[in-house]
Amino acid sequence: MQRPFERLAAQMQDILGDGGILKRVIQPGEGPLVPRDASVSDVTLWGLEVGLLTMKKGELAHFLFKPKYAYGDMGCPPLIPSSATVFYEVHVIDFLDSAKVDEFFALSPEEQNDVPLATVLDVVNTQRFFGNRCFRQSRYEDAKDRYKQGVTLLENREALREEEKSSVEAALVAVLLNLSLTYFRLERPTTSLKYGQRVLEMDPNNAKALYRCGQAYLELGDHEKAADFLTKAQIKMPFNKDINNLLLKLQESYSECLEKEKEMCSKMFANLKSSRH
């Protein structure tokens, strides 16, 4: 009688020819294969690294990894016994190819400036995606570093033709907005405000930048400026839930502040009266 993995193995493809890694495609992907230099998180098996290189974006596949390509003779106690064959279901949602980034940063500043703008924008976009991944994992310092690299690359680009300037500015706005939010999460509202204001210098009507500045001013306790920026943001995006919720928070914070001032004044007058008696 066949064991479950044996029945499964009979329906799978031997991708190395030694029976160590078996694969069955459940949902085909599209486009190129995952590149060798792609960034993939949570890869703990040598076999899984090999298996991923046979997959495409969007692909869903089942894998069987023999011990040699999994946890070996030792296993991973207490969950995985020794010499275990392991089953994985893998879905490639997306991947980032870091090879182009690595090649670009290996160039001198002069060589980087001679690279076509499209390549620079690809590198910046990849850095931004890496930053976004770090941000989602609450690794805000790492996200900040990725975003700042992107800003530096765009700002160092020299001798831009007129038609290139708008592409660079659009990429710069996106990364600066990311930086503004990241510094806010790092509890550095003054720096968050600085990057939001830089966006507004390029695009005075940018609703996200207006919101970021209002958010920072509220955190800094400047209710008047927070109200100014958030009201302008609401005019641009009247049905945005985040903006409207922050305006409500601003109103509550302002009311609390007035109440505290009123209470403090009452205590001051009470102390003044008692000192006269």
The pLDDT assigned to 208 comes to: 96
pLDDT at 232 over 90: yes
Give the dihedral of Cα atoms 170, 109, 191, 124; nearest 10 deg. 40
- Answer for the pair 210, 227: CB distance below 8 angstroms, yes or no: no
Q: What is the mean pLDDT of residues 208-230?
A: 95
pLDDT at 276 over 80: no
SS3 49: helix
**DSSP bridge partners of 153:** none
pLDDT at 277 over 80: no
pLDDT at 215 over 70: yes
How confident is the model over 14-54, as pLDDT tens digits? 999 999 999 999 999 998 898 876 665 556 688 998 999 99
* Range 95-114 burial, b when 16+ CB lie within 10 A, else e: bbbbeebeebeeeeeeebee
pTM: 0.68
The Cβ-side half-sphere exposure at 192, using a 13 Å CA radius, reads 22
CA distance 214 to 262: 25
Q: Which range is least confidently modeled, 51-65, 134-148, 244-258?
A: 244-258
Between helices 223-236 and 207-219, what is the axis angle to 10°?
160
Alpha helices in the chain (DSSP H): 4-9, 46-52, 99-105, 109-114, 117-136, 140-155, 162-185, 189-202, 207-219, 223-236, 241-276
pLDDT at 259 over 80: no
The pLDDT assigned to 1 comes to: 43
pLDDT at 74 over 70: yes
Q: Which of 181, 180, 185, 222 is nearest to 201 (CA)?
A: 180
**DSSP bridge partners of 151:** none
Residue carrying the six token digits 């600085």: 194
Specify the higher pLDDT residue, 63 or 46. Answer: 63
The pLDDT assigned to 263 comes to: 65
Q: What is the mean pLDDT of residues 215-233?
A: 95
Domains of the chain: 4-97 (3.10.50.40), 99-239 (1.25.40.10)
Give residue 250's Cα distance to chain centre.
27
The pLDDT assigned to 183 comes to: 98
If you average pLDDT over each of 107-116, 148-157, 183-192, which comes out highest? 183-192
Mean pLDDT (the chain) is 88
How confident is the model over 155-199, as pLDDT tens digits? 988 767 787 888 999 999 999 999 999 999 999 999 999 999 999
pLDDT at 118 over 60: yes
Q: Which of 182, 167, 64 is nearest to 124 (CA)?
A: 167
Q: What is the mean pLDDT of residues 205-232?
A: 95
**DSSP bridge partners of 64:** 22, 87
**DSSP bridge partners of 65:** 21, 86
* Pairing assessment for the beta strands 21-27 and 13-14 based on DSSP bridges: antiparallel
Residue carrying the six token digits 């409500």: 248
Specify the higher pLDDT residue, 212 or 164. Answer: 212
Residue carrying the six token digits 């993939």: 40
- Answer for the pair 217, 226: CB distance below 8 angstroms, yes or no: yes
Give the dihedral of Cα atoms 168, 169, 175, 180; nearest 10 deg. 160
